Structure 1
Amino acid sequence: MPLSLRPPRKGKTPNYEIRGTYLGVYVERTAGTPELRVAKRVLKGIKEAIERGEYRKREEVAEAPKPPTFADATLAYLKAGGEAKFLGKIIEATGDHALRDKPLAEIDQLAIDNAARGVYPLAPATTLNRQFYTPVSAVLKHAGIELKIKRPKGWRGSKATEWLEPDQAFAVIREAYAIEPEFGLFCLTLLYTGMRLGDATEEAILRGLRLEQALLYLGATKNSEPRPVHLPPIVVEAFRKQRPRPVRPSKGTGGVLTNGAAGRNRAGAGVPFLERHPDEKLFRFCKGGRLYKMLYLALDRAGVVLPKRMRGFHIFCHTYGTWMHRYGGLDTYGLTRTGRWKDPDSADRYKHTMASAEARRADLLPVPAAKPRALKGL
């Protein structure tokens, strides 16, 4: 069989293999690369070495140990329990700027920037930071490489923030209760705790609710750290007054039922809300289109108009941060110490929701004794 390349085989090897005989010399080895053009160069080099009489089988050559690559570091990071999300796409990327087979010693800021645009050519800076720079930084730090990575310009996103004024928020909560009592309690809890949607729908269970301590204990959050969430009196009282989930009628009760009226009962239907099984989810909702439609309906009925990018449950988080700054008197670091924000930079946006004390001193500036004609009548 003439000397030729065999393509990568899924589940066996990601690289090209070189097999066959050339000038009476049998070769069977890996090309060490998934790139066809690189593998062809390796094949050509082997042929030239055989022609010169210099080729020896790999097992006959005492090879120096190969330096660890980014793929090696990623594997070690994952085995140590690192976050796998977003790393798959980075490792699967190929091309001149791909990080997978690049030795760790050769990875610098330029290599990371080029690789990022190779994986996400059109992504905004916020996506690049979240889905490329952050996981790459985590892998390198685990490998002991303390490289200070410069994030792409604009990675923090806009600090422009929308929030609900009290009358708007109370109107939304009223409409949420009108749509469904449990949905009203759900929105009220988000408003007065600032919880992320995922924490409320996935992490909060009834066992963690301790009303005598005004506390909801989240065992695992987005930051992978347990977090106690304080419940203000209005939320504690709302939980205590929450009615059981309604029992749905069945066809066996007789009479004609409208479409959708009958069906499977919700978990805990008819049971006092706080007496359900302690391992049940605190709220029955799941993140999805139906839940967002309920919010949109509550916002519309309350007459609250928001920019499209803020028309979601995160408006409650922004409102919580704004109110805690405005009415609770917390500065950036005070907001961080609530446990809701891990990074002061994330909480810093809420200081922009109020004019500073220095700016309000403009009230002391001199004004004319007699109002100009344009101001008369004001």
Structure 2
Amino acid sequence: MPLKLITRPGSENYYIRGTIRGQSVFESTGTSDRRTAEEIRIKAEARLLDESVHGKRAMITFDEAAESYVTSGGSTKYLLEVDRTGKPKGVAVHFRGRLLKDLGQSDLDEAGRILYPTANPDTRNRQCYTPFIAVWNHAVSNQWAEPRQWRRPRKPKGTNIAVLKKPRAGTKPVSYDRAATFVEAMTPAPAHVMTALFYTGMRPIELFTLEAHQVNTEGRWITLDKSKTGEPRGVPMHEFLVPLFESLLKRGGILFRSWKGEPYPVSDDFGGQIDTAIKGARRRLKKAGMPMTDIAPYSGRHSVSTQLVVNGVHPYIKDQILGHAADDMSRHYTSVPQQPLIEAINTIPVPQKWRDLAWWQDPLYWSRRHMTTRYPGDGRRKAKSA
């Protein structure tokens, strides 16, 4: 029978009820206005008829796919946010009402230009293309859209224009000897974070949300249920990290926590969750005459990528390790340890200074202590414990 508007005791809103081609419907219109409710009923009936004839793939909109993506745990950052005036903004707002089947590369490129007209290619990629592609991949996994390779914006080649601005910390690789010196100056808990980042290439947000059930130390494999691209992936574990993970696994749950035993706040920021620890290490190293302002959590990811290239690792293997590859075959093996990837990550060097850090004796115990190596001029004398 066709859809009808009904009322329910105790509710002012109208409800839609009925059956369209065998599909039963009973849902609220969210309004008490009869005219508005009738318009919603007509649209709902038309949509269900189209879906029954052409299938859901032909009728799902980008904002519907985005809502499903967020409900399944995806980030709303740059996708659907609210500005200071309370107005919604983001990629999902730009594509509101647009059918997935009608969207193409030119639509995505146009969105980048409209939403971020003065931004550089890296910013448009991060704030427009990445959330769009994450939603698209989620739609593909639900069979609402076809798999597609999207072109991302790139910096123009051959330019001779020098951009005079201070580079952001963490945007470039650093040597592992330099990284070891920096980590030595950190409190153990954030030092554990930085160590894992430099020997997995994971994104900071992936590490901050990592739980015990996702880690297989025997197989030296980490399974991420979802990543920044919206797809699951597997991460090989450097042998250097095995004692660290084995120790942290004893407490279960979220593995990497502050020295107070609290999980780091989840954020898409560039590792801002340990900002205080990073600043503390910089301050101590500066007093010791070893200024290091270029190292940040994302330095680990850039350093892994660069070191693998230097070590002659095949680009496909490198991309698999960093989560850049998203072909259908690689998804089938996200939870299966892959020996070529494990062998590749193990080519990353480990300075002796890193191996000699005191907290390797018992990482879990030391994670609850608030202390670092003392450098000249460092005013802290005593260790604190949780």
TM-score of the two chains, using structure 1 as the length reference: 0.48
The structure that has the greater radius of gyration is 1
TM-score of the two chains, using structure 2 as the length reference: 0.47
Q: Which has the higher contact order (CA 8 A, sep 6+)?
A: 2
